[in-house]
Structure 1
């Protein structure tokens, strides 16, 4: 696709103001809220925009961070704040914006991009596909009476921040698909817009073993309003810390009925509950785009003790560097990718995303018409990409 329109960060105050207006309209935000969010992102050099005839036509926010895949942190570019000026909607401005953006991020060296889609056709046109899920977990507070008080629980202090970050990272590294957070995501956890997050930590013999960020809001329940407890983050790195945190949350049962947090369908804390007094439901699927096929495949972790080779034939109509044949060789938990090979497994880069994360099996992709391969290649791919279902806690 021929690139048209000027692209880059805002050049002046007039363009920042235009982004504020586009963001307010695209997300039905109050003008003051949009202004605050956009100016923070501008100050951090996260904004990109497309100009048409000298006017801002579309904008997005890029977020540099990592994602744990196979136990290794893979650098990714998250995308948020995608908006198109009303007068440019339906004219391909967002598609042109993403063509520029994807090429810039690949040139920068990023192997992957991840986003939560407001609409999927746009992102599929530029090579993204569903690659994992975010689930809402809702628990009856009265069921969290676990009797665990052996560890110390106290309010979080500013001096705990580094230990909390390290505790989260130890935990997230074991959760396939979770973010290796940067400052942008941590700000959303600690200082959510329009809410107050109260932090508490659990300490044991090994130091800080868990923490929770808790947001309280009123949820009317008949004549007497009760609180809804939203856990902006909930991390336990030991069984004792898990039980202590659940008991602490359960101690709110006289004030609250429902407790809500986000994660994967395989939430381990639910195994501690006596009864199935909870609901787990899909919140949203997230989408991934491989920006550099060899780099992405070599960056993620792979199963230890498993070796194999897969001959790929990849199509990519946006980033031609990804087009062609590659041989993926896995051994000892790491991968090497070289050009060439026999191209026995043929797919578009869009279909490579759910295979890459393990969200869909090779045979599921074949059934959907997104992949073509012989049986031997399907079996090798199924073994190499097998693993836990990819999930995300954080929205961005």
Structure 2
């Protein structure tokens, strides 16, 4: 896709060293807190992000964000990595991309469901490929207690997990959520009928990749209406995604 010329801004975006990821990690950290699925990058992940072909990408940044691009090839400009959390980062990055319009016909990047570059580009965006990513919680109790939950929510739910790959997860769990944290107790006897689901469906619910109601419609989650409504509230949030491969 091609970008139109973006507006100018005082927050200029300047060349930076792609081999120094420390300041980029600081810029990226607030984005990790408000979105689901983005990992804290190790040194190896930063290398893969900023040196996608084994050579350092061209990095540009200011105090609000950054964008890294690889040299144009076949009339295509690839964004290797980007963190553009505010207009002071997004607008100069858009202007930078627009500056390549004499050399390229399209710009490609890896983005999520709530993608600011796609919002700014408008009708010129085409989805070239969609990849699903896989996750499998190894310890369901620890995973639920380590996860964050919506602020101000006080709720509970009971699960019965049937995990065909990890028999240690095959049990009933009672989850209590308060003050953004979860507390798990394992139950031999349950007070109310639990939600029943398999390990793969639980992984989709846990990450926010699929809602409880969507899993119910697909026949992958079984339970009473009131319990499904509770799960909708407990696991609501931004859809999970990540740009990294490893």
The TM-score with structure 1 as length reference comes to 0.58
State the shift of 1:285 in Å.
0.6
Higher strand share: 1
The CA distance in 2 between the partners of 1:158 and 1:280, in whole Å, is 27
Q: 3-state SS of the aligned residue for 1:312?
A: strand
Corresponding residue number in structure 2 for 1:114: none
The CA distance in 2 between the partners of 1:149 and 1:317, in whole Å, is 55
Corresponding residue number in structure 1 for 2:217: 367
Q: 3-state SS of the aligned residue for 1:176?
A: coil
The CA distance in 1 between the partners of 2:205 and 2:118, in whole Å, is 28
Instruction: Find out whether 1:265 has 2:113 as its counterpart.
Output: yes
State the shift of 1:149 in Å.
3.8
Instruction: Find out whether 1:280 has 2:127 as its counterpart.
Output: yes
Q: 3-state SS of the aligned residue for 2:109?
A: strand
Instruction: Find out whether 1:163 has 2:34 as its counterpart.
Output: no
State the shift of 1:362 in Å.
1.8
Q: 3-state SS of the aligned residue for 1:151?
A: coil
Instruction: Find out whether 1:301 has 2:148 as its counterpart.
Output: yes
The CA distance in 2 between the partners of 1:336 and 1:159, in whole Å, is 41
Q: 3-state SS of the aligned residue for 1:173?
A: helix
**Structure 2 residue aligned with 1:328, among 172, 175, 185?**
175
State the shift of 1:383 in Å.
1.2
State the shift of 1:160 in Å.
5.0
Matched residue pairs, number? Answer: 243
Kindly indicate whether the alpha-carbon contact (under 8 Å) linking 1:149 and 1:247 is maintained by their aligned counterparts in 2. no
Q: 3-state SS of the aligned residue for 1:229?
A: strand
Q: 3-state SS of the aligned residue for 1:247?
A: helix
State the shift of 1:372 in Å.
1.3
Q: Deviations over 1:201-223 (max 9, x none)?
A: 12xxxxx211111112421xxxx
Q: What stretches of structure 1 move > 6 A for 4+ residues in a row?
A: none
Kindly indicate whether the alpha-carbon contact (under 8 Å) linking 1:365 and 1:371 is maintained by their aligned counterparts in 2. yes
The CA distance in 2 between the partners of 1:360 and 1:159, in whole Å, is 36
Kindly indicate whether the alpha-carbon contact (under 8 Å) linking 1:265 and 1:280 is maintained by their aligned counterparts in 2. no
Alignment of 1:88-167 (within 5 A): 139-141=1-3, 143=4, 145-157=5-17, 160-167=20-27
Q: Deviations over 1:95-116 (max 9, x none)?
A: xxxxxxxxxxxxxxxxxxxxxx
Structure with higher Rg: it is 1
Alignment of 1:213-224 (within 5 A): 213-219=68-74
Instruction: Find out whether 1:379 has 2:234 as its counterpart.
Output: no
- What is the root-mean-square deviation in Å for CA atoms of aligned residues? 1.9
State the shift of 1:159 in Å.
8.2
Q: Which runs of 5+ in 1 are unaligned?
A: 1-138, 203-207, 220-225
